[in-house]
Amino acid sequence: MNETVVCVVGNVATPPVYRELAAGPSTRFRMAVTSRYWDREKSAWTDGHTNFFTVWANRQLASNVMGSVEVGQPVMVQGRLKVRTEQREGQQNRVSADIDAVAIGHDLARGTTVFRRVARPETSSAAAPAVPRPEPDWETPVAETPDGEAPDGESSQRSVAPVAVT
């Protein structure tokens, strides 16, 4: 199936709304995306047309949006674009553009942010235990004295395993 994947940069226009649904958590908010262009006549940057998108986030992304995103903040959203047409009796057709978000983040070109990893819930004891990863052999070369002897009386000619640097 073909999908239209977009990445838009704009500002959060409405407070995020969080809902617990049967399929899991869901959060939505409106996002304003305004194009800017250089106006040669005015010799200045000018705002163009503003597009509004409804951004939908699900599952863990929905929870993280609620703890991270506020009205007015510059964000970047990547996801699937869905354009819907709705017709109500006695009214004109209404068209809306929704983005089913895959990733949402702050626009660091316009500010800073602090990342906090979310703790994952504990897994059941029935799951296989994690296999410990072996520690690398970080052997340090022995320092030599001017006469070629190691400080502890050993020979400085000990073999040291080479360490690959990647």
Average pLDDT over residues 128-137: 62
Looking at the predicted structure, is the pLDDT value of residue 54 above 50?
yes
User: Which is it for the CA torsion 144, 145, 150, 151, positive or negative?
Assistant: negative
The distance from CA 12 to its chain's CA centroid, rounded to whole angstroms, is: 16
What confidence score (pLDDT) does residue 146 get?
Answer: 60
Provide the whole-model pTM: 0.66
